[in-house]
Structures are given as structure tokens and as C-alpha cells.
Amino acid sequence: MNLVIFGPPGAGKGTQSKFIVNKYNLYQLSTGDLLREEINNKTKLGLEISSIMNAGELVSDNIVGNLIEKFISNEKYKNKIIFDGYPRTLNQAVNLDNLLNKFNQKINLVLKLSVSLETVKKRILERQSQENRKDDNEQVAIKRYQTYEKSSKPVLEYYEKSKLLKVIKGEATITEINSEISGIIEAIKG
Ligand code: ADP
């Protein structure tokens, strides 16, 4: 089973991905984590993308497309991937389907975590004190939320059409969301 976890910054995608990974033996592919790794390692790509990420904007579809292809083409992860933070644009969603198709795979489920801008701001300020991310301050958080609002609609419509989309209220407690997600996954696994 491959699944996508979707939602604004601070929706809890990373937290829920880790829970699903442990419970169902999957692998988390977080494009945000992969991009931050490039920045921390000061690679050529890292230098190129740091100002874009710190401004709360999206890096190019090409760059993230290359990162996920490495994962999808690896037999070890076949049909065991949680896409966390990818796709973020319609173009990325189409690219993901094409890539998966090339390696005889598909998306089985798209989980959308919904949260308000107020919650996003609050959570990101809390996270700032723990993780020290350069893009976790109120101003950039608002910008990231706006970026999400702008680019997410066509992606959601795309997955609604293919009947893969399940929407979850991201304001519930972590354990409540854990069990809601488990219920959805169990139903799909049959
Ligand atoms: P969050 O969802 O909390 O904003 P992420 O770690 O998923 O955090 O993403 C952080 C930043 O990384 C984004 O604001 C964006 O600049 C970049 N990024 C991550 N994934 C993508 C993607 N699929 N396409 C373009 N940019 C991305």
C-alpha cells in the first residue's frame, strides 16, 4: 500500500506518518526532511533551495521529482511508501502517478488533515522551540499556509476525482486521529 498524507504546515503530517510507519511497516518519504538534509549537508542543491524554503515558497517540481524518483525506483520501498509533503502541486500529483506507474505501483489512499490558520500558527510556534527550523516562525508560517491554500486545491480535486481522498479533522487529539486513520487503512486493506 502506498499513501499520501496531505495538509497545511503544522497539520500533523509528520506525527501521523510516524505512527502509520510503525503500525503498518511502511516507509516515510518526507520531501521537507530530504530538502532540509541537503541544506544541512551544504550540498549544491542545498545552497540553491535554502532561501526558497526559508521564504515559505515551494522548490521546483523538478527538484522534488528527482528526490522522490530515487525512492520509488528502489525495490526495498515498493508499495510501502507514505508520501509526506508530496505532492503539493497538480503537476507533482500527475508526476507521482506517472512515476508509480513506471514502477508498477499506484496510490491507494490520500489522507487530508484539515486545520485552521490559527492552529497552524500555534503549533508552529510550539515546534520552533523544539526543532529549531528556520522556516518555523509566525511570518513564514503564514506564508507557508498561504502557499498551501494556493497550490492545494487542484491537488485535492485531482484526488477527489479518483475517489482516493479521505478528509480528517486535524484538530482532534493525536490518539483520536491515530485511530481514525487506522480505521480507514484497515477498511482499505480489507
Ligand atoms: P510543512 O508541511 O510543515 O511546511 P515540510 O517539511 O513538508 O513542512 O516542508 C517545508 C518546506 O520544504 C516547504 O515550505 C517547501 O519550501 C519545501 N517543500 C517540501 N516539500 C515540497 C514539495 N513537494 N514541493 C515543493 N517544495 C517542497
Spell out the per-residue pLDDT of the chain, length 190, in tens: 999 999 999 999 999 999 999 999 999 999 999 999 999 999 999 999 999 999 999 999 999 999 999 999 999 999 999 999 999 999 999 999 999 999 999 999 999 999 999 999 999 989 888 888 889 898 999 999 999 999 999 999 999 999 999 999 999 999 999 999 999 999 998 7
Is 115 a pocket residue for ligand 1 (Cβ < 6 Å)?
Answer: no
Choose which residue among 15, 49, 67, 88 to substitute to test ligand 1 binding: the one with the highest number of ligand atoms within 8 A of its C-beta: 88
Helices and strands (H and E) in the chain: how many = 8, 5
Average pLDDT over the chain reads: 95
- pTM given for the model: 0.94
- Domains defined for the chain, CATH in brackets: 3-183 (3.40.50.300)
Choose which residue among 13, 29, 51, 58 to substitute to test ligand 1 binding: the one with the highest number of ligand atoms within 8 A of its C-beta: 58
- Give the list of residues 6+ apart from residue 15 with CB closer than 8 angstroms, or none: 174
Q: Angle at the Cα of 36 (from 35 to 42), degrees rounded to 5?
A: 95
Ligand 1, atom 3: closest residue by C-alpha: 9
